[in-house]
Amino acid sequence: MLENIVLLIFFSHILVTAFLLSTNKGNKLSHKLLAGYLIVSALDISNFLFANFYSNHPDLNMLRSNIALFTAPFLYGYVNAVVYSDFKLKRLHCLHCLPYVLACLALVPRLFSADAQGKQAYYDNFNAMPENIFILFLVYIQVAVYIIVMFKILHRQRKIAIENYSDEHHLTNRWLTQFLFLFSLTFIFALARTFYTFSAHNNIEEMLTLAVMSGLFLCVCFILWQALNHPQLFIGVNSKIEVLTNKPSFEEHTNNPKDNAATTSDDLIAKLESHMQLNKPFLNPALTVDALAKQIEVPSNELSFLINRKIGQHFFDFVNTHRVNFAAQMLSDKNNQHKTVMEILYDAGFNSKSSFNTAFKKHKQVTPSQYRKNNV
């Protein structure tokens, strides 16, 4: 059963890799990095399928075994490429190869430079060899660190999105968080499997091996499902945008004395609200804080601070509040009875029914249909 699952995973990874490298649609860099992750995963499990070949080539087998050290870096690059629209590979990223180089260097004295008899002796005492223990320790520490960093990236991306964008496509990274949880669970199973490898519980090791293989298969299926059914989710934010906590205070932006700061902020709030009511920029589904700042002729970081700290809302919620109020007016207007809820939500600047219903119920405590029924 295990061999059949491994065979399915191996060839599915190869086929998906071929597709990702050949397609011209979407984010090409993220496709290439995901393809790299899939190739590394396929090579990592290939020993289950080509055991005889690797037994005749012990050096190649260890190079294959160490390739697991590229799994987390490729996934880290993929997350960055999906989350940040301006992400590019740089020479500095070559530092991610260092763990693999260190692992290979550790094997030079007693494996790579040894004769055939020495290589056989190494494999006969494989689990007891300090080099092997060092590499396993390196792999798991490395993956754990990358997982923590990737979750931090997602947290930062969400803060950037709600402070600078008004469309939910930039905000929706739940699928990527779910994928990382699935990857983390697979990592935990792999860690447990390694623990039982050094014990006599062979049955438990086989069960955990099956769980790891199933996790690898589910990971790639999950990403493909999201990509095929929700391609709009793969819209990144600009990595150069700072989150609000890193920005100077409003007084520092305006260079006004503290006693004039309140007056200045009140004037700007009045100007902003007047613009929102008269010109209705929120009707643009892709409105950003930069675009709104240009319209009222203030710096974008100042406007972001004003909305978040003075008004007390994230930019995403601030814009949606105006959209919901506009939609509520349309729903309660008898002249709009011929319009469906779907037509009204698009007129109000929303671009999906789910986001409209969520925002409307949040601000009005009832669904749009119920609101129309109660107010007409």
Does residue 258 carry a pLDDT above 50? no
Which pLDDT belongs to residue 75?
93
* Rounded Cα distance, 291 and 286, in Å: 9
Q: Which residue has the higher pLDDT, 304 or 75?
A: 75
| Mean local confidence (pLDDT), 345-357 | 87
Which tens digit of pLDDT belongs to each residue from 323-334? Answer: 999 999 998 988
Is the pTM higher than 0.85? The answer reads no
The domain limits of the chain are 2-233, 244-375
> How far is CA 253 from each of CA 160, 256, 269, 318, rounded to the nearest angstrom?
19, 8, 15, 21
Which pLDDT belongs to residue 202?
61
Which pLDDT belongs to residue 134?
93
Quick check: 38 and 220 in contact, CB under 8 A?
yes
Which range has the worst mean pLDDT, 141-145, 149-153, 248-252, 367-371?
A: 248-252
Instruction: State the DSSP string of 25-88.
Output: SS-HHHHHHHHHHHHHHHHHHGGGT-HHHHHH-HHHHHHHHHGGGGHHHHHHHHHHHHHBTT--
Does residue 112 carry a pLDDT above 90? yes
Topology of the domain comprising 244-375: Arc Repressor Mutant, subunit A (1.10.10)
How many separate helices (H) and strands (E) can be counted in the chain?
Answer: 19, 0
* Rounded Cα distance, 346 and 320, in Å: 13
Which pLDDT belongs to residue 137?
92
pLDDT band at 229 (very low <50, low <70, confident <90, very high): low
CATH of region 2-233: 1.20.1070.10
Give me the percent of the chain exceeding a pLDDT of 90.
39
| Mean local confidence (pLDDT), 202-210 | 76
Q: Which residue has the higher pLDDT, 179 or 59?
A: 59
| Mean local confidence (pLDDT), 66-85 | 92
The vertex-153 CA angle with 188 and 171, nearest 5°, equals 110
Q: In residues, how long is the chain?
A: 376
Identify the top-confidence range among 108-117, 204-213, 343-352.
Answer: 108-117
